[in-house]
Amino acid sequence: MWTRMWVTLLILLSIVTPLIHEPAAATYRGSEEDRNACTPDVFRLCSKLIPDATQITICLRQRVRFLSPECRAVFTSSSRQ
């Protein structure tokens, strides 16, 4: 139970990080809303990459068509990129 709680906390703190090629936004970690939207998809699609936030972000971007509508909006909204 504690392990899952810590993993969830790590994901919530770091899920939506910019790609390495976006240095201007390097400190952006996503809003709480963004993290909440994508946490289930991280567990479903990219759990082997936890806790590497950069690799999780890449994983989610590569699987954007499989994301929940809420998480897909995080990655496809032009105002968030």
The better pLDDT of the pair 36, 30 is held by 36
| pLDDT at residue 57, as a whole number | 92
CA distance 30 to 15: 7
Q: Which residue has the tokens 């906390």?
A: 9
pLDDT, residue 34, reads 92
Taking the model in full, what pTM does it have?
A: 0.64
Model confidence pLDDT, tens digit, residues 34-71: 999 999 999 999 999 999 989 999 999 999 999 999 99
